Amino acid sequence: MQKRIKEKALELLNTGVVDRVLGWKIGEFFYDLTPAVFETAEEVEENFVYSGFSGANLSKYLIAQSRAGGKVAVFLKPCDSYSFQQLLKEHRILRENVYVVGISCDGMLDIEKIRAAGCDGVIAVKENVDSLEVETLYDKKTLNRNDCLLERCLVCKSKKVVVFDEMIGENGEEQETARFEMVAKLEAMSPEDRFEFWRGELSRCIRCNACRNVCPACSCEKCVFDNDKSGLRNKAAADDFEENLFHLIRAFHVAGRCTDCGECSRVCPQNIPLHLLNRKYIKDINELYGEYQAGADMETKSPLTNFTFEDCEPSIIHERGGV
């Protein structure tokens, strides 16, 4: 896959179809792949990397890149393409300046899971179809690939690239998965237990803002958390209220626009399962206002910018079953 993608990047640059390529390069470590812009064929040859660690969603960078002059090529995995289409729908990306190469995806790897499987000091990971050959400082291990996937890939909602100019590999289909399982499990708990659960998770938050910065939906030019006068500007949370408030507002701002790409949880340095908050909104929207998948098409109105006369009353929350 890496070879085909790299060749495509070179071809697009050499034939002058695009002026830049948006892809991934190695960051601090080999498993720490960072989005990068490549302007010349030499740069691509030298630094372009695609592997199981290319989890980063590139669509957000196109907001700036599509306005930077010239044409830019981008590689989008199926889940990234939903974010891309959602941003197109919101008129954030100039489509004519972007050449989208869709790539099929077998799920991305989670270095934390590889570490948890007893691999300390990982220096190389070789990917096979079903297995991973992990080379550490001390020995070599073979792991099952499916055990090391990111949480979002285990419950992948779609293998379909929804918008592309060209595909590498086979385009897949949407699929039914148990992605709301954990949300349903939490809903079944008592309010006290839920409160304890979220305190346990959110109290780890260090307010690094990575979840906000990486989120394709969270790309307002002015953010309430950057406003000096709001009293909420970028700073460590002073107490548990602020932790709650930040995450409540962050999730609410992307409600109805979140495509469930799972980037927030992937980048969280404290491993807070932030996607659960977004999924709760998606689940509620599906149940109360009808099935909706953000970014799946260009026409449907987002549930929060829409209404019907027959909508349920907010009191439904107090009246519904459960504890």
Partner 1 sequence: MSVNEQFQPTIVAFCCNWCSYAGADLSGTNRLQYPANVKIIRIPCSCRLNPMFILRAFQKGADGVILCGCHPGDCHYTTGNYYARRRMTLLFSMLDFMGIERGRTRVEWVSAAEGAKFAATMNEFVDTITKLGPNRRLEDLRCRKE
User: Does residue 224 belong to the site contacting partner 1 (CB under 8 A)?
Assistant: yes
Return the number of the residue (226 or 242) whose C-beta is nearest partner 1: 242
Question: What are the two backbone dihedrals, phi and then psi, of residue 182, each rounded to the nearest 5 degrees?
Answer: -65, -40
C-alpha–C-alpha distance, residues 184 and 234, integer Å: 32
The only residue of 30, 99, 180, 197 in contact with partner 1, by rule CB under 8 A:
197
Q: What count of residues does the chain have?
A: 323
Task: State the minimum distance, in angstroms, from the CB of residue 229 to partner 1.
Answer: 13
Closest CA to 262 of 247, 272, 249, 253: 272
Distance CA 206, CA 233 (A): 13
Q: Of the two residues 43 and 243, which places its CB atom closer to partner 1 in the complex?
A: 243
Closest alpha carbon to 4 in 226, 12, 317: 12
Asked if 90 touches partner 1 (CB under 8 A), the answer is: no
Asked if 203 interacts with partner 1 (CB under 8 A), we say no
Question: Does 317 interact with partner 1 (rule: CB under 8 A)?
Answer: yes
Tokens representing residue 132 in the block: 């991973």
Residue 201 tokens read as 């998770």
Q: Give yes or no for residue 196 binding partner 1 (CB under 8 A).
A: yes
| Residue 239 interacts with partner 1 (CB under 8 A): yes or no | yes
Does 316 contact partner 1 by CB under 8 A?
yes
Shortest distance in whole angstroms from residue 266 CB to partner 1? 22
CB 270 within 8 Å of CB 206: yes
Site residues, partner 1 (CB under 8 A): 183, 186-187, 191-198, 224, 238-242, 244-245, 248-249, 251-252, 255, 277, 280-281, 284-285, 288-289, 303-309, 311-318
